[in-house]
Amino acid sequence: MNAAVFYGPNNIKIKDIDIQKRKSNEILLKVLSCSVCSYDVRTFRNGHFKVTPPIILGHEICAQIIDEYQSKNLLIKPKSRVSIYPIIPCNACWYCAHKKYNLCINLKEIGSTLNGGFAEYILVPKTVFEIGGIIPVLDNVSNEEACLIEPLACCINGINQVKNLEINSVIIIGDGPIGLMQLLLIKKILNKNVTIIGKIPHRLESAKKLGADYTLLINEKNNDNDNDNNNNIFEKYKKLIKNTSSEFSPNLIFISNNNAGSLNLALKLVNKNGLIIIFSGIKNQNADNKGMINIDPNFIHYNQISIFGSFSSTPKAINDAMNLINSKEIDLKEIITKKFSLFEIEEALQATESFKGFKSIINN
Ligand SMILES: [Zn+2]
Ligand SMILES: [Zn+2]
């Protein structure tokens, strides 16, 4: 089969790979579509501490079953389309016992530590089926939408952590596909006022179309860790929400881009009793740790601020994401903007990195 193999920073090549030699605990699936995540781009450019090349990246996958598979409560017939939960649990640790597989202490991930979906076929360990991580794609859902079930589930995982806490308004720092998915979910689940802060005008236009109450354009050239810049954004935001209930009430701030300095901006924008979620992985730090944040413990203490992390998702969140897309309660069509063949993988990575459109999808 053809696969896009990552050999190290800036080095990805289409290779003919033999997949006949599969282990007894592996299931073979035909990849139909796999979308490009900014994690793939960061890894392609700089490598990643979790990734040991050579490896096939890609973890947002819609695939087709080849052999019938029967687990305890699910029969999946050949040719069925499925969405894949990209986490392989050890099933031995506390987190696995509590179905928080994303936090497994022996975590393995498809497209990161195991070969992923930028290929014609993929081998998935049977444990993924057994924990309910292979989810049949419902008829209303296209292959491309099925890829986005994984990132949508990650967004659901983030919102689940805070949805029962007191929040009056939401700010999303990041105007990419993740920021827009969070916007749609927050409107659906929490029904709060949402502001999107971003650097790309066409993306902020889409955010408005999808229901953002306010959008704020920040200068692309400015350093996110620059205090003057953050003060400037803070002033503009304060003007937007002046005399509304968002001005002085607990807010929720998503960091949905990969700049370390966004945490500084979030700390500037957060109100008393507010919450910050660090949703995205952060770009490689410089050797001198430029971009690292110093947090003032007194600020956190006296203002009762909470900072959360959110990583990946759970099989339950994948199911919830599938149902939201199938029922059309969440429509991701606006976010699917470009389709590529496997042979165009570099173009797809470049389109993602240069903020062209939103999601780039590799179709087989
Ligand atoms: Zn991803
Ligand atoms: Zn585990």
**% of the chain beyond a pLDDT of 90:** 80
User: Which ligand places an atom closest to the C-alpha of 100?
Assistant: 2
Question: Would you call 355 helix, strand, or coil by DSSP?
Answer: coil
d(CA 252, CA 324): 23
pLDDT for 34-60, tens place per residue?
999 999 999 999 999 999 999 999 999
Handedness of CA 160, 164, 166, 170 (dihedral sign): positive
- 110-124, 200-214, 216-230, 338-352: the lowest-pLDDT one: 216-230
Q: So what's the pLDDT on residue 286? A: 57
Mean pLDDT of all residues belonging to the chain: 92
Average pLDDT, integer, range 226-255: 90
Main-chain dihedrals φ then ψ at residue 342, nearest 5 degrees: -55, -35
Q: Are 315 and 294 in contact (CB under 8 A)?
A: no
Q: Which residues of 42-66 are buried (b: 16+ CB within 10 A; e: fewer)?
A: bbbeebbeebebebbbbbbbbbbbe
User: In 3D, which of 67, 121, 114 has the Cα closest to residue 87?
Assistant: 114
25 Cα: distance to centroid of ligand 2 (angstroms): 17
Q: Are 61 and 33 in contact (CB under 8 A)?
A: yes
pLDDT for 65-107, tens place per residue?
998 877 777 788 889 999 999 999 999 999 999 999 999 999 9
What pTM was estimated for this model as a whole? Answer: 0.94
Q: So what's the pLDDT on residue 221? A: 63
Domains of the chain, first to last: 2-148+332-363 (3.90.180.10), 155-309 (3.40.50.720)
Whether the predicted pLDDT of 284 surpasses 70 = no
Average pLDDT, integer, range 203-224: 86
26 Cα: distance to centroid of ligand 1 (angstroms): 23
207 Cα: distance to centroid of ligand 2 (angstroms): 37
Whether the predicted pLDDT of 147 surpasses 80 = yes
User: Which ligand places an atom closest to the C-alpha of 94?
Assistant: 2
**Token reading at 216:** 């704020």
User: Which ligand places an atom closest to the C-alpha of 352?
Assistant: 1
37 Cα: distance to centroid of ligand 1 (angstroms): 4
DSSP letter at 103 equals G
Whether the predicted pLDDT of 225 surpasses 60 = no
Q: Are 62 and 32 in contact (CB under 8 A)?
A: yes
Question: Would you call 342 helix, strand, or coil by DSSP?
Answer: helix
Q: So what's the pLDDT on residue 222? A: 56
Query: Which residues are paired to 169 by β-bridges?
Result: 193, 251
Q: So what's the pLDDT on residue 140? A: 87
Whether the predicted pLDDT of 289 surpasses 60 = no
**Token reading at 28:** 């073979």
End-to-end C-alpha distance for the chain, whole angstroms: 11
